[in-house]
Amino acid sequence: MDLTHSAADEEFRLEVRQWLEDNLVGEFAAIRGRGGSGREHEAYEERVAWNQHLAKSGWTCLGWPVEYGGRGLSLFQQVIFYEEYARANAPAGVNHLGETLLGPTLIALGTEEQKKRFLPGIVDVTELWCQGYSEPGAGSDLAGVRTRARLEGDEWVVDGQKVWTSLAHHADWCFVVARTEAGSQRHAGLSYLLVPMDQPGVEIRPILQLTGTSEFNEVFFDGARTAADLVVGAPGDGWRVAMATLGFERGVSTVGQQIGFARELDDIEATARRTGAWDDPVLADRIVQARIGLSVMRTHALRTLSAYDSGSEGPEASVSKLLWARWHRDLGELAMAVRGAEALTVEQAPYDLDDQQTLFLFSRADTLYGGSDEIQRNIIAERVLGLPKEPRP
């Protein structure tokens, strides 16, 4: 595992750092640190403007091929960008699903017409996307989807419900896994459709979270329509395409995410010193253990990316979600422990949470969304380690 950066990489780091320093000024300086998990409601329009500013300077879709509007950067140059972006406390992005999931899927499996139609809007941050996977009866078990689509003339007609759809209320389009073959079950008979959100057949209902905000949504399709040619891959081949989409998220941004985690941990340690919790050996030990865990996660992430970059990708990536989700959930609990009783009160009515309270409440979901810990362990056991499948009725 070679984790050293070349001289060219270090020059690139200085370029990124200087650009962020020169551009996170004025109106953009005012939104430093805004947004992110549990805080997507913060300065949303201003963050869209910032992301479009990034696009104009060529700082979106960094790993995409140049011919599709990207910069064709190496994996480790992408890591460098996300590290410096996090260190600058730049605003959270608004285009993650389009840039890291749908875009690479279209590049690999879409038609030339689909690429010409949709990739420029992702690069420019002028069309935003959401992901229509999870349903009330098919969360981590994606093969259980019941949303249906039928072909009528030159259009697909979509009926069904999706849930936990992040930022659907801001999205222009949704990539939807729907059952298009009558009588099909499980992985067979699914199709991967691109569906416009602004139409009469789409209803979006925000889901109120513990944090008092709503970045997740229920989405109801009732006769929603999309063009017949807006199916990625062949009709009925949706499972393969959906799995390819999930495979494109290599975790490059998680290294930057860990810098954000370190900032949260620094804040908790400062709070512990202020409240006297640092003098409690048990709490002090938990803070030290959190530091060690963060270091382990960083090393693991870099090892995983190094293996992928060298073409020797192994099972390491499969455990990344388990590592960071449980660590971050425990960090939220630690934040409340060092605060003591003051953690139970809000700054002002009716429900004005501070950063640590938001961290605690939202991180309860970390071990659930993106595949629950239980499902993740089953996947690792059965598909990575080759253990016998769990008995099912």
Tens-digit pLDDT profile for residues 2-11: 556 688 888 9
* 203 dihedral zone (left: phi>0; alpha: psi -120 to 50; beta): beta
Q: What is the mean pLDDT of residues 139-153?
A: 86
Q: What is the mean pLDDT of residues 30-56?
A: 91
Beta carbons of 359 and 335 less than 8 angstroms apart: yes
Residue with tokens 């382990």: 296
pLDDT of residue 252: 67
Q: What is the mean pLDDT of residues 73-80?
A: 88
Q: Is the pLDDT of residue 114 over 60?
A: yes
The three-state secondary structure class of 367 is coil
pLDDT of residue 251: 62
**Residue with the larger pLDDT of the pair 268 and 314:** 268
Q: How confident is the model at residue 295 (pLDDT cuts 50, 70, 90)?
A: very high
Task: Outline where the chain has alpha helix (H).
Answer: 7-23, 44-56, 75-87, 96, 103-109, 112-123, 238-247, 252-275, 281-309, 320-339, 355-362, 373-379
User: At residue 249, what is the residue type?
Assistant: E
- Which tens digit of pLDDT belongs to each residue from 303-353? 877 766 665 555 666 688 888 899 999 999 999 999 999 899 888 778 888
Q: What is the mean pLDDT of residues 273-285?
A: 94
260: its two tokens? 């954000």
Q: Is the pLDDT of residue 175 over 60?
A: yes
Beta partners for residue 135, in sequence order: 138
Lowest mean pLDDT among 120-129, 151-160, 291-300, 382-391: 382-391
Catalytic residue among 46, 218, 249, 313: 249
> pTM to 2 decimals?
0.86
Q: How confident is the model at residue 291 (pLDDT cuts 50, 70, 90)?
A: very high
Whole-number percent of the chain with pLDDT over 90 = 61
Q: Is the pLDDT of residue 113 over 90?
A: yes
Q: What is the mean pLDDT of residues 33-54?
A: 91
Query: 353: closest CA among 206, 208, 166, 210?
Result: 210
Q: What is the mean pLDDT of residues 259-284?
A: 93
pLDDT of residue 310: 61
286: its two tokens? 């938990």
Q: Is the pLDDT of residue 374 over 60?
A: yes
Q: How confident is the model at residue 38 (pLDDT cuts 50, 70, 90)?
A: confident
Task: Outline where 183-222 has alpha helix (H).
Answer: none
Q: How confident is the model at residue 184 (pLDDT cuts 50, 70, 90)?
A: confident
pLDDT of residue 218: 96
Lowest mean pLDDT among 75-84, 225-234, 326-335: 75-84
pLDDT of residue 74: 87
Q: Is the pLDDT of residue 393 over 80?
A: no
Rounded CA separation 62/131 (Å): 21
249 included as an active-site residue: yes
**Residue with the larger pLDDT of the pair 2 and 234:** 234
